[in-house]
Structure 1
Amino acid sequence: MPASIVEEFWRTQFATEPYRGGGFALTANPTLEEDRRAMLLVAADGTETAVVSPALAGVTATDAASFRAASAEAGARLHDPDLVHYLAADDRIGEETGHDIRLLTSADEDAFAAFEAGASEQDLDDAYVELDHWAVVGAFDGDELVCAASAYPWDDTQLADLGVLTLESHRGRGIARRVVRALAGEIIARGYEPQYRCQVDNAASIALARRAGFEVYGTWEPVSPDQ
């Protein structure tokens, strides 16, 4: 079961207790910002919860599909879904070993620049790992940075959204799992809850989340940024 930080965040977003047990619910939340004036959360158990701002109070729906269609007609087309993961509540992060894994700082600027140069533009865009993020962990092979993960507080909450990237030449060795676990431990030590998001068709990232101890919470669809 996710931590109370997680449930409180989604309760605030949807202006209701997290809806569980199957079916569909549509609520209104007057505090939603413009870029989240319509949202859909499909929980891991299949329950569908939608929310709209007062400006979209005329939107009606009976399930996720009809909500997507009605929102789009009202000028609030939903973005492709993100699969959202959180650590199991009973997970205890321990020290990760196997490579030289440590927190990164501005002193690692040269190593990080070399790391970025060794990755594709697509991988860099997808992972969104930055040295100046709130918390950054890396794995070294000798003097070479081969995997990095970073996190930042999400939406001014106690959730910390994380991303991870491993150089292609070092994939398949379990390095990313250890780096993600190390970063998750740092996030928890700072009083936050790690959040792992990825696209629903990113099989490799989904598998990594599972190996690192994360469980699927659901799929989240906010308004597309071009709406």
Structure 2
Amino acid sequence: MGLSSRTLWTLRRYWADRLGVPPNAFEKSGGTAGSAEEGGIQLFSHGDSLVVGVPDPLLDAAEDRSETVVSLDTEDEDAVHGWLTRFDGIEQAIGPTFYGYVDRETFTPVESDARVLTAADTAAYQAFQRSIPDSEWDQGGTQFTPGETVGLFVDGELVAVAGFDVWEGLLAHLAVVTHPNYRGHGYGQIVVSQATERAFADGLLPQYRTSDAWPWSVALAQDLGFHRFATAYFGVYQQ
């Protein structure tokens, strides 16, 4: 079972608006370019659609190249990175990136002892954060918010945390980190499951974004019922 038609409609409209393209851009074949001030060029591959959101100074060039982008194999990382970095001011390309979503119909929760952390867990959270390399924390860390952040304890030690930021009152953008000494046991999936349930309770649509270079992270989401909506690339714009 895939995402419901209502969920797909919502996502297509959300991303079309965010990337500055017509509402049907994710429902037609070919390339579409729009104006989006997101700090660079965003390229979303969804089915037969390739949608590109670019800063205004690059919009004309992107529209000129919207036909050539459809010939790209989005599984060919070098080809897409090369297409992005040919734009003036784009010096770095990131991707491919998994954008996954789950709705109540596809969600497969994991039963566990994970719970919402409280102010009494502050010291445990701080010790947990110190165990994570800064580079990893920047990729997946979540700010400690008593009453919101989800955590899992094993033998009295906090081993995984998850939480989410709310995007435009619609999406719950999930973040998860597992203690380096406790990886490979499914603990990350457990806390993401609990955070996903909290997102649903708040009336939000859960979003899981991760690099395709980390197949274990993609699998974590897919095992919970997240479906790939898009494969994305990002070209960092240096003005």
What's the TM-score once normalised by structure 1's chain length?
0.81
Q: 1:204 to 1:225 in 2, by over 3 A?
A: farther
Write the deviation string for residues 104-139 of structure 1: whole angstroms up to 9, x where unpaired. 233321010111223333332321222139941111
Contact 1:50–1:67 under 8 Å retained in 2: no
Picking from 20, 23, 33, the partner of 2:37 is 33
- Which residue of structure 1 aligns with residue 141 of structure 2? 128
Contact 1:134 1:152 in 2 (8 A): no
Residue number in structure 2 paired with 1:149: 162
Q: Deviations over 1:54-83 (max 9, x none)?
A: 432321211155896366433245630222
Judging changes above 3 Å, is the alpha-carbon distance between structure 1 residues 26 and 215 closer, same or farther for their aligned structure 2 residues? same
Instruction: Look up the match of 1:202.
Output: 214
- Deviating beyond 4 angstroms after TM superposition, the runs of 4 or more aligned structure 1 residues are 64-68
2:88 to 64, 67, 74: 74
CA 1:78/1:218 → structure 2, altered by over 3 Å: closer, same or farther?
Answer: farther
Q: Aligned pair in 2 of structure 1 residues 51, 97: CA closer, same or farther (>3 Å)?
A: closer
- Aligned-residue identity in percent: 24
Gaps of 5+ in 2: 73-78
Moved more, 120-129 or 182-191: 120-129
Q: How does 1:51-200 map to 2 (within 5 A)?
A: 51-59=53-61, 60-61=64-65, 62-63=68-69, 64=72, 69=83, 72-77=86-91, 79-81=93-95, 82-88=97-103, 90-92=105-107, 96-98=110-112, 100-132=113-145, 135-154=148-167, 156-200=168-212
Structure 1: which 5+ residue stretches go unaligned? none
Report SS of the residue matched to 1:130.
Answer: coil
Q: Counterpart amino acid of 1:74?
A: D
Instruction: Return the alpha-carbon distance in structure 2 between the equivalents of residues 77 and 160 of structure 1.
Output: 30
Q: Which whole-Å CA distance do the structure 1 matches of 2:54 and 2:86 have between them?
A: 12
- SS across alignment from 1:79: strand
Letter in 1 for 2:11: V
Change (3 A) 1:84 1:173: same
CA, structure 1 residues 180+25, in 2 after alignment: closer, same or farther (shift >3 Å)? same
Deviation at 1:46, TM superposition (A): 5.2
- Assess, with a 3 A threshold, how the Cα gap between structure 1 residues 190 and 27 changes in structure 2: closer, same or farther: same
Q: How far apart, CA to CA, are the structure 2 residues paired with 1:118 and 1:67? A: 33
CA-atom RMSD in angstroms = 2.8
Q: Which amino acid aligns with 1:221?
A: Y
TM-score if structure 2 supplies the norm length?
Answer: 0.78
Distance 1:179 1:217 in 2: 22
